[in-house]
A and B are shown apart, each in its own frame.
Chain A
């Protein structure tokens, strides 16, 4: 992927910047130029405003991936999930900081800033959101506390690692 193609999406991938329709109030992620559900579809043109997601949500569905997407080969098995955010939109992202067998539908999670993948040893490194548990779970947790993304706290650094 070219540098520009990834770079121009960083406000969304780093900070969960979405949009909100001022006609009907529905929140979208990623942002949209026009509201797909608004009864006033045509009138919503130019009425969409930026909206910051908090990063809080819960697991809506999940899968443990064994045959990786390109650039994720070193991470298998990894958990990919649909996370329904408290603001409404569902996001696709990895669940981290717990064992795959501990993931369940309904698990409370919070967005966290991580390395997504790298394009080979000398290529571009892609960063963005993943999701970590936001509720107390039995057993020790791998890794320590991490920077959250979204409105809760701004990412302290873009040098976080997966």
Chain B
């Protein structure tokens, strides 16, 4: 296995992109990444595309060749593969692209993530995203993604004393960062009082505790580290990429308040890179629901179990804090186009490691972590990225 580098990145604005089609946003992100990498499309060996539910959302399956075709590469007959893992589809695609380059089979690949969630009404969108939980034993009994995460939240509050205010802080932080990100779905700040006073979705979670349904696409170009400097002045090495899975339903987990998939994916990633949580300078973590972020901080090893809430409240993870998280605005404010999320996390972290994140820049960031979750935690993907010295 050889070292793999991120050579270029691109992404569309996230949000309600009613005037733009799935293929348009997919192509925009991919072409941006190619141009950023100073690479020609004739160099490419394969395309991996993360996407959760194009069939239900836009009545279009088989989207690998669709995007390849409209990227102008149809006649080159490259392999184009769609990768699905619920909300973790994008980072699962990244993992496949990483393996493909690391193995030596391909030199350069594009990894994209795209989702078009606002072409359907909200209720339909929520129904489709809920199918990333266990439909037969959770959804049929009245479960939705926010309701299932609310069950995790209530138990976390019961066992560790996590407070409603601590949950709300996650949303306040996300919107603060989103206000600094021109690509974000939401660029408005929100106050603690606004989060606490918003209408309930599934108690204790309210409207502001839940990430939106967004449209958007993101892409990265990967290539071998050994020749990376021919294509970029600032190659970013993928120091680790790991996937771990767990029981599909919350009810079957070893511990309802822990995502073992995250614990294991993180352990594998830190082992591969021979690094530890304390070495991370900046992270993009899953904050699909405010509770998701607090649990993630614990499961990734940044907080002791049960201390995610107090640590977040103390400002440890704010910009200027010990280890800033979700400088992009996270899923909450940057937006949640499911299949694009994991790739967009890497786009943000590459900008941080290059030092081009402008007024959301974490000073001297050299090691970064991305954490992506599918469903309520049946799949977790952890990626470590390192600025090449």
Contacts and interface: CB of A to CB of B under 8 A. Distances in A.
In terms of DSSP, what is the predominant structure of the interface of chain B? helix
A105 interface: yes
A11 to B, nearest CB: 13
B130 A80 contact: no
A72 B144 CA distance: 11
B154 A116 contact: no
Contacts, number: 105
In terms of DSSP, what is the predominant structure of the interface of chain A? strand
A106 B23 CA distance: 51
A94 B127 contact: no
B144 A65 contact: yes
Q: Chain B interface residue count: which class? A: 35 or more
A50 interface: no
Given A62-B154, A82-B151, A69 B130 contact: yes
Contact of B144 (A61, A67, A81, A89): A67
A66 B199 contact: yes
A75 interface: yes
Given A61-B256, A80-B147, A105 B158 contact: yes
Interface residues of A, number: 36
A155 interface: no
A161 to B, nearest CB: 16
A158 interface: no
Interface string B121-156: 001001100100000111111111011101111110
A61 B143 contact: no
B138 A92 contact: yes
A70 interface: yes
A69 B144 contact: yes
B223 to A, nearest CB: 40
A92 B202 contact: no
Interface in B248-285: 249-252, 256
The 10 closest A-B pairs by CB, nearest first: A63-B150, A61-B155, A90-B251, A64-B203, A61-B151, A63-B202, A70-B127, A66-B200, A61-B154, A65-B202
7 contacts: A61-B152, A62-B154, A63-B203, A66-B201, A67-B201, A68-B142, A72-B142
